[in-house]
Chains A and B, each alone.
Chain A
Amino acid sequence: MNTILSLGATALATPMLCVISFASERPPVAPVIWDTEVETVEASAPKPEPVKLVISADAIYTADGDMIKGGTIAIAGTTIAAVTPGGVSSDEDGLHVAAITPGFIDLSPRINLADFSVEESSEVVPYLRATDAVDLYDPRWTRLLRSGTTSVLISPAAEDVVGGMTSVVKTGGDPTLESREVLANATLAGSFGSHASRGNSPVRGRPTNHFARRPTTRMGTEWSHRKAFYDTLAAMSHEDRKFEGWDIMASVLKGERPYIVQASATQDIRTAIYLKEEFSIPNMTVDAAAEAWREPGLLARSGMSVILPPFSAQGRTAIDNGFLSWNCAKTLGDLGVAFALSSHGSASPSGRLAMQAGYAIRGGLSFEDALASVTITPARLAGVDSRVGSIAVGKDADLVLWSGKPFAATSRVVGVVLNGELVTQ
């Protein structure tokens, strides 16, 4: 009880967000807040920041356990300070919404500088960083944030076999990498399918453009992949075989860094699976994997994770014309394949990440699995689940505020909280 009162006393003084009245009237149930333990730590320990924002909701979907029916989230600094179950009356003063979910995480937002984001002078460039080609002033960041996506993986365009390292960044805040980066060089990006070989031709004489290079076919792409990993194995055991970026490739083989490859068509997904099994790559994900529903058994066998592109009315997707079935997500979920939904850079309103969760539910997926596939699962796949992806004390206060049941066609996003700040309303 004391903790709740102190929470109210330190809440923001704005009338809209004032929680003193309802906090005192509402008996808290099992408050998950900084408690007496915090107060007994040594004086030298940094004092917890005061609560600056409290939001109540009829339902809090944590994506990390059960739904909390009626409760409040207290935010101190940039993180969640408390998640408190308890009755909530919507006529109280304070910020109250119908539902709260964690901010969404899009592992395939394709927010990059197009051709200038990918180094095409060579097909294997693991050492390059996507953050060196990021435009933090792109208006698409605001669109992502307003639609509820709070963290994304930035990656180069998929025109290389091994395209370089990707990073997880927030979609808002100061436009500097220092303030937005969640995890630098989080994963390595690769590509199967037609993109890595599209337009390439053999080098005859002196190359005159970047298309005069390997590979020129799907099988050539596979060959380049295998060569890169065999070269890496050689570099790991022979000093004289080291090449630029071998350590990045080695970190993938050792499972220290996830490998996310674009593979949309069935044969490309199979190729990716065979590569994973041949080199025992522990942590690998196929991105834009529209036709994953055709090989769910192989995916489950190999332990491959999946990122799905946005659903379309006709089923056909923009990447290699892959066909995405409405029940793809459910099929993967039933077999225990870890999967995330994505917008894959779709500019259309129907391509937004929140819409994808709704479509997946329509395809038979449970609400809980749909929520996880846009929050905690992508966070795990990118290795940032300790900071983002669910509503829990200590995690970043990235929240989506809803007018009704999340993902329902009749509900809309009424606000987004990023790093503890209410950034859109």
Chain B
Amino acid sequence: MRNTLLIMAGALACLAPSASAQTEAEPYAITADNILVDGGEVLQDGLIVIAGGKIVQVGLEADLKAGLHKDMPVLDHEGWLSAGLVAANGSMGLGSGVDDSTSAFTESLLVAESFNGDHSSVVAARKAGVTSFGLTTGRSNVAGGQGSFVKTDGAKVVNLRTHLTLCMGPPAIQSRRYPTSYSGAVNALEKRFAAGEGAFGAVTAGKLGVTIAVGARHEIDRAIRFCQKAELTGTLRGANRAGEFADRLAEAKLTVIMDAPVIGSPKWHTDSINSLAKAGVPFAFGLADSNAGAGSLRLGASLAVRAGLDRATAWRAITSTAATLAGGGKRAGRIAEGFDADIALWSGDPLSPMTRLESVYIDGALITEGN
């Protein structure tokens, strides 16, 4: 907050979390030295207007400020403003309820029903600037359930059913129950998609997305073959080596969620990221298959840029592309009119590791003062 000046005294109340309802209801504006709109586009001396929890105007301060209502509170932020970060997937707020172990096929379970929005992992995520994420099951079931797109303030569910979560390898296949093999898992899923009932039918009808958890190269290979045979367009998750399959993924129109690189990540990881970008395969960084915390997203995007990825693609991998892959791309991940006012205020360029997160707003309400 050090660099944020309050012009209107009346707006003081807006900064107190207890008064967040007011900011949601009353229109207000934020100016910033730089507004990161989407990808690489930066508005210098920009201004956004927020009303009803949505972004209603985006532009240059010089163009818009004169037209604002004289009583509208305006926050002047000396620094950068961007969309809140989006994790393409994550299991924050699920505690130990990530997978239901009664069966390998729990496709009708809704993961949002296990979601605790006040869980410490959710709080940690928003303190790292993550304002929404794709809530997903783990990978311990062949068909684990249906994921959701959620916000990190309380248990706000934006989209209850975004994707069916699948896994065709260990730990979903295990010796304790059916299926015990890759062949058995593939066969089981083929039969279910052919029958087209319930969640499987929703996927083939295009009403529900699908993610397939992978790891080793042969699992990526198998998932691509499966999707092509079953005519599915979905997302491979945990696919850190996906870049080695970039051309096949592009041909199959599949997308990728991978771990953000961390300091010390092997070169093949960043090579993989660059290969996906070169082939035009949409990819984003997730947290569900990674041991790293929510803070890994922003650092990972920085490390990807350092390894040669263009800034715009890196930024989208933790905002707009992540939101799209997680099933919330029409509401989150961009500073644009009509999008939810999920906003992060930074001391500088968010892709610089030296930059501090100063404030986080979700649906226009100040949620946290960052880390």
Contacts and interface: CB of A to CB of B under 8 A. Distances in A.
B169 A116 contact: yes
B293 interface: no
A118 B218 contact: no
A118 B180 contact: yes
A423 to B, nearest CB: 20
Nearest to B182: A133
Contact of B180 (A121, A129, A177): A121
A119 B221 CA distance: 20
Given A120-B175, A121-B177, A210-B176, A134 B218 contact: yes
Nearest to A114: B181
Contact of B175 (A134, A156, A209): A209
Contacts of B221: 136-137, 175-176
A4 B152 CA distance: 75
Most buried by B among A129, A132, A210: A132
A119 B183 contact: yes
Interface string B226-248: 00000000000000000000001
Contacts of A156: 181, 183
Contact of A128 (B169, B173, B181): B181
Interface string A122-144: 10010111101111111000000
B310 to A, nearest CB: 29
Interface string B194-227: 0000000000000000000000111001100100
Contacts of B193: none
Residue in A130, A133, A137, A210 with the greatest tally of chain B CB atoms within 10 Å: A133
B371 interface: no
A101 interface: no
A132 B182 contact: yes
Contacts of B178: 121-122
Contacts of B170: 116
A164 B218 contact: no
Nearest to B184: A119
A113 B169 CA distance: 11
A117 B182 CA distance: 6
Interface in A180-226: 208-211
Looking at chain A's contact residues, the main secondary structure is loop
Contacts, number: 80
Interface string B288-316: 00000000000000000000000000000
B176 A135 contact: no
Contact of A129 (B175, B177, B183, B216): B183
A421 B234 CA distance: 36
Contacts of B184: 119, 121, 125, 128
Contacts of A135: 216-218
Contact of A119 (B169, B181, B218, B222): B181
A135 B170 CA distance: 14
Contacts of B217: 135-137, 175
Contacts of B176: 208-210
Contacts of B173: 116
Nearest to A129: B183
B218 A115 contact: no
Interface string B158-169: 000000000001
Contacts of A136: 217-218, 221
A127 B217 CA distance: 25
B187 interface: yes
Given A116-B173, A134-B218, A175-B221, A210 B183 contact: no
Contacts of A121: 177-180, 184
Interface in A140-195: 156, 164, 175-177
A250 B182 CA distance: 24
A132 B186 contact: yes
A132 B180 contact: no
B358 to A, nearest CB: 46
A125 B186 CA distance: 13
A122 to B, nearest CB: 8
A267 to B, nearest CB: 28
B180 A210 contact: yes
Given A132-B186, A134-B218, A119 B180 contact: yes
Contacts of A117: 181-183
A209 B175 CA distance: 6
A132 B175 contact: no
A128 to B, nearest CB: 4
A133 B183 contact: yes
Interface string B81-94: 00000000000000
Nearest to B178: A121
7 contacts: A118-B180, A121-B178, A127-B187, A132-B187, A135-B218, A137-B216, A164-B183
Given A119-B181, A119-B184, 13 more contacts: A115-B175, A116-B180, A118-B180, A118-B183, A119-B187, A120-B175, A127-B187, A128-B181, A133-B183, A137-B217, A138-B218, A175-B217, A210-B180
A-B pairs, top 8 by smallest CB distance, nearest first, are A119-B184, A121-B178, A135-B218, A133-B182, A128-B183, A132-B186, A137-B217, A119-B181
